[in-house]
Amino acid sequence: MAEMLERADFLAAFWMTLRLAVLGTVGALLLGMVVAIMRVSPFTSLQFFARTYVTLIRNSPLTLILFFCVFGLQNSLGMRVGDDLSTQNLFWGVVAISVYHASFIAEALRSGVNTIPLGQAEAARAIGLPFGASLRHVIMPQAVRGAVAPVGNVIIALTKNTTVAATVGIAELASRMKTSIEFFPNLLYLIFVLVAVCFVVLTLPTGLFFTWLSRKVAVQR
């Protein structure tokens, strides 16, 4: 077992998975917020673009989006970030994860917007607030509070979906698990348990935190 742990370097793989999860979460939250604002904007063109984005991306496999980024944008079109291949794959892995999960974040935030009574938006317009100001001061603060729990579920799913990055050679936990099983088939179950524990360490605190936060900031109706 000691030899397997030394060769597989699970600590480095755990760190890579954590980087993918954290960077992907930041990207998904930022992009998802923009898409959600476009969904509720008064401009038909923005609503159409955001609705099309959510429909197409949410119903496409994450693996397909990742392959498009790595083999399409990076390899075919030459859109490279740095000279190191591992850095390039990490960058496009984060992009793919962010783009895919932003569609779910946007829908979670839109569901939060739908929990706000219509009278509040009408009151904001009645006192002369433009759309941007009413969105910033009235709608989005309440929408974010109402969407904490579903956003937390999306982030947990995002963390588990980082395993897709193994298909393009990113040395995260799933990739190390595959390599370890090839060299140490007699430790199959132990390797499975080790990887499962690593993901529990990543996702369980996230779930507990968002459960606590959703209760803390819950809007009393």
Topology of the domain comprising 18-171: MetI-like fold (1.10.3720)
Q: What pLDDT is attached to residue 97?
A: 96
Confidence (pTM): 0.88
Contact 17, 173 (CB under 8 A): yes
Q: What pLDDT is attached to residue 137?
A: 77
Mean of the per-residue pLDDT values of the chain: 86
Confidence of residue 199 (pLDDT cuts 50, 70, 90): very high
Percent of the chain residues past pLDDT 90, beyond the cut: 44
Confidence of residue 108 (pLDDT cuts 50, 70, 90): very high
Q: pLDDT tens, 118-153?
A: 777 777 777 877 777 787 778 888 888 888 889 999
The yes-or-no verdict on residue 220 having pLDDT over 70 is no
